[in-house]
Amino acid sequence: MRLKDKVAIITGGSRGIGFATADKFLKEGATVVLAASSQESADVAVDKLKEKYPNAIVAGISP
């Protein structure tokens, strides 16, 4: 839990390297806000991450 009590904002977090980064940060205990090109893709990514880390704090936003 090296990132406990830290907040990460990840752009492009709904897929690819951004999604993998969000996953790793959650694994290390961070709170994650991921930004995506659409709210739908942000919501899908958040749902996947919450399924894997049910106690984590993660949110998704889009422009």
Quick: pLDDT tens for 19-63. 999 999 999 999 999 999 999 999 999 999 999 999 999 999 998
pLDDT at residue 1, rounded to an integer: 82
**Distance from chain centroid for Cα 22:** 4
* Cβ atoms of 3 and 28 closer than 8 Å: yes
pLDDT at residue 35, rounded to an integer: 97
Domain count, the chain: 1
The verdict on residue 49 lying in a domain is yes
Residues present in the chain in total? 63
The verdict on residue 23 lying in a domain is yes
CATH of the domain at 49: 3.40.50.720
The answer to pTM > 0.85 is yes
The verdict on residue 26 lying in a domain is yes
Domain range enclosing 33: 7-61
The verdict on residue 1 lying in a domain is no
The verdict on residue 2 lying in a domain is no
